[in-house]
Amino acid sequence: MNELMLPYPISTNRYWRNFRGHTTVSAEAKAYKAAVWALARSQGVSDPTTGPVSIAITLHPMAPKDWHKRQLKDPFGDTVRSIDLDNSSKVIFDILQGIAYENDRQIRRISMERGVPMPGGGLWVAWDVL
C-alpha cells in the first residue's frame, strides 16, 4: 500500500478555467499538481501502477484559529468550512493521475471521508493494487 499526506486540495471552481469556449486546467491547478508530484517523489512514490486500484481518501479541513475552543462543542469539525467530498473527488483523482495510477479509469474502489480539522488542512491518500 502507498500513502501520501498532501496539502489541502484546491476547489473544483479554482481547478478549471474557461477560455474562449474551451475548458482548461488553471495555473493554480498546475502549481498544486507540481507540488503534489514533488511531495510524492520525496515520500518515495516512484512509478504509477498499471493495474486496477483501490483508493482511500481523508480530507482534513483547515482548522480555524479558534479550533481549540470549538472542538469541545464540535469534536468532528462539522461547523468548519470545507470543500464537499463529492466536489473534491474529481480534483483529487486528476491530481493523482500519473502518480498513483496511469489513468483514473483504473480506480475500482473508493473510500472517502472527512477527517477532523488540522492546521492548514490536509489530504491523506492511500492506494493499493487490487
Mean per-residue pLDDT pooled into runs of 10, the chain (130 residues): 92 86 91 94 90 96 82 76 84 93 95 92 94
**Could you give the CA distance from residue 104 to residue 83 in angstroms, rounded to a whole number?**
21
Q: What is the pTM of this model?
A: 0.85
Cell (9 digits) for 28: 493554480
Residues 6+ apart with CB under 8 A from 83: 9, 11, 12, 59, 61
Q: Residue written as cell 498532501?
A: 6
Closest-CA residue to 10 (of 82, 97, 72, 109) = 82
Q: For position 26, what pLDDT does the model report?
A: 92
Whether the CB-CB separation of 63 and 117 falls below 8 Å is answered with yes
Q: Residue written as cell 464540535?
A: 74
Closest-CA residue to 29 (of 52, 7, 1) = 7
Q: For position 2, what pLDDT does the model report?
A: 92
Whether the CB-CB separation of 123 and 3 falls below 8 Å is answered with no
Domains in the chain and their CATH numbers?
A: 2-129 (3.30.1330.70)
Q: For position 99, what pLDDT does the model report?
A: 93
